Amino acid sequence: MDAIRLRGGNRFSGVIPIAGAKNAALPLMAASLLTDEPLRLANLPGVADIASMKNLLVTHGVAVANGEAAGEASFDASGVRDTTAPYDLVRRMRASVLVLGPLVARFGRARVSLPGGCAIGTRPIDLHLEALRRLGAEIDLVDGYVEARAPRRLAGADFTFPSVSVGATENALMAACLARGESVLRNAAREPEIVDLGRCLIAMGATIEGLGTDVLSIQGTDRLRGARHRVIADRIEAGTYAIAASMAGGDVTLEGANPETLRALLDTLAGSGVEIAENGDRLRVVSPGGNTAGMDLVTQPYPGFPTDLQAQIMSLTTVASGASRITETIFENRFMHVPELLRMGADIRVRGATALIRGVSRLKGAEVMATDLRASVSLILAGLVAEGETVVNRIYHLDRGYESIEAKLAACGADIERIAAPA
Ligand code: EPZ
């Protein structure tokens, strides 16, 4: 297992190209199951989760062909013969459950393993199943698998999500596109990745209104066609590097970022003394480094402060001037980075879903352990400013969602390298 070694203290300046959004690409790839014509995607990020989803689609019988340019691939589901998503694949990547809606909508059946929990929480899929049941699917749980059937095609429904769920909204949105009649999905998630999925579905012939709002109206159709679609930029990658520049100090331009999708973070950083300049899809972050002002924030569904940037912003607060409070409302166990940050000399106290952080003048490098994707990157950020050397182990978590992170950071002056983990 690889590790990443950093030596902290360098200022951070340069240009970072932002990759396509992992959390948009995954549902977009699943959407290829909705049609028997090729779906061509561009700007797919080179991260492990994309490879995992390609692998799952291939087991279903989707013909996946990489395009000429990096990040391009076509997905042809005309030959799908197997509607089972096996436990061994689903347990490795929860987003595999996004094949459930498309499979049952197009083929009238699906057998998808329950994903099981992960480091940040139990992460049930009851909202996915409730939405599909309202669309007419018969659903049983058998031997750890969801067995879904729609012998007479799905039927449009008016459904209100009891709580906001990105994945459940995506599964229901995709399924409703092939249901008979109109569907209305209320209390739907509004993340930019869902808007991107909706735009692609419309290009495939779907009729969808309300993208970007919490009420989605879908007019079902008998079939969808192939399309070409470019994945939006990854707002979480961009936000991660904006926080890195804010911590280390420097002048960084994020190329391809869409500031509109990062409003909550950018307002938070500006409020703590970081200079932000927006110029189309170039986002410039200038910071004196360290002693940014403390903050009090609560993670919320979009457009609130994203839970996927919570661990990263907490790293920033560990070296901010003064006290900060961070409340995590989306996942029940998303403070796994705290024990590792404490080992680097951070001053953090967790009370239930709230962490109280007092800024320290300097973190100390240490050997630390990654536990999940965003926790691992928060340790990288801490290592950028810590005194001495930091080694982050189990960085396979990192490779799931960050493309070439050490190359991008080194290009901005970070003293960072990937090493074979000490035996
Ligand atoms: C998506 O996960 C993202 N993953 C997550 O990003 C992100 O943290 C999350 O949305 C919230 O923004 C992808 O898009 C692939 P949810 P998802 O359904 O869809 C509970 C990353 O780091 N819930 O919005 O699984 C759930 O347990 C990953 O890139 C139910 O109770 O998130 C959680 O507490 C991590 N029942 C809350 O809702 C359900 O049926 C929000 O989950 C579904 C969810």
Give 116 or 278, the one with higher predicted confidence.
Answer: 278
Amino acid at residue number 273: G
> Starting at the edge strand that comes first in sequence, how are the strands of the sheet with 415-420 ordered?
367-369, 389-393, 2-7, 415-420
Average pLDDT over residues 93-102: 96
What is the pLDDT at residue 275?
95
pLDDT in tens, 319-332: 999 999 999 999 98
What is the pLDDT at residue 203?
98
How confident is residue 289, by pLDDT bands cut at 50, 70 and 90? Answer: confident
Domains, in order of start, for the chain: 3-19+233-419 (3.65.10.10), 22-230 (3.65.10.10)
Average pLDDT over residues 194-206: 98
What is the pLDDT at residue 420?
84
Q: Is 192 in the pocket of ligand 1 (CB under 6 A)?
A: no
Pairing of strands 73-76, 109-113: unpaired
CA distances to 160, 189, 197, 220, 311 from 213, rounded to whole Å, are 13, 8, 14, 19, 27
How confident is residue 115, by pLDDT bands cut at 50, 70 and 90? Answer: confident
Strand partners, 356: 325, 349
Average pLDDT over residues 374-388: 97
User: For residue 418, which of 381, 384, 393 has the smallest C-alpha distance?
Assistant: 393
What is the pLDDT at residue 283?
96
What is the pLDDT at residue 178?
98
Instruction: Give me the sign of the Cα torsion angle 184, 185, 186, 189.
Output: negative
Q: Which of 122, 130, 166 to mutate to test the pocket of ligand 1 (most atoms within 8 A of CB)?
A: 166
For ligand 1, the distance from its centroid to the CA atom of residue 297, given in whole angstroms, is 19
How confident is residue 292, by pLDDT bands cut at 50, 70 and 90? Answer: confident
Q: Which of 23, 100, 141, 261 to mutate to test the pocket of ligand 1 (most atoms within 8 A of CB)?
A: 23
What is the pLDDT at residue 423?
61
Percentage of the chain modeled with pLDDT above 70: 99
**Residue 200 annotated to the active site:** no
pLDDT in tens, 248-274: 999 999 999 999 999 999 999 999 999
What is the pLDDT at residue 288?
81
What is the pLDDT at residue 169?
98
Percentage of the chain modeled with pLDDT above 90: 93
For ligand 1, the distance from its centroid to the CA atom of residue 12, given in whole angstroms, is 32
Closest residue to atom 43 of ligand 1, CA basis: 125
Closest residue to atom 19 of ligand 1, CA basis: 167
Q: Is 399 in the pocket of ligand 1 (CB under 6 A)?
A: no
What is the pLDDT at residue 264?
98
What is the pLDDT at residue 238?
98
Whether 290 shows a pLDDT value over 80: the answer reads: no
Whether 22 shows a pLDDT value over 80: the answer reads: yes
What is the chain's mean pLDDT, rounded?
Answer: 95
| pTM attached to this predicted model | 0.97
Structure tokens at 217: 């109206």
What is the pLDDT at residue 422?
62
For ligand 1, the distance from its centroid to the CA atom of residue 23, given in whole angstroms, is 10
Q: How many CB atoms lie within 10 A of CB 404?
A: 15
How many Cα atoms occupy the beta-carbon half-sphere of 93 within 13 Å?
A: 26
Closest residue to atom 30 of ligand 1, CA basis: 124
Catalytically annotated residue among 118, 177, 200, 412: 118
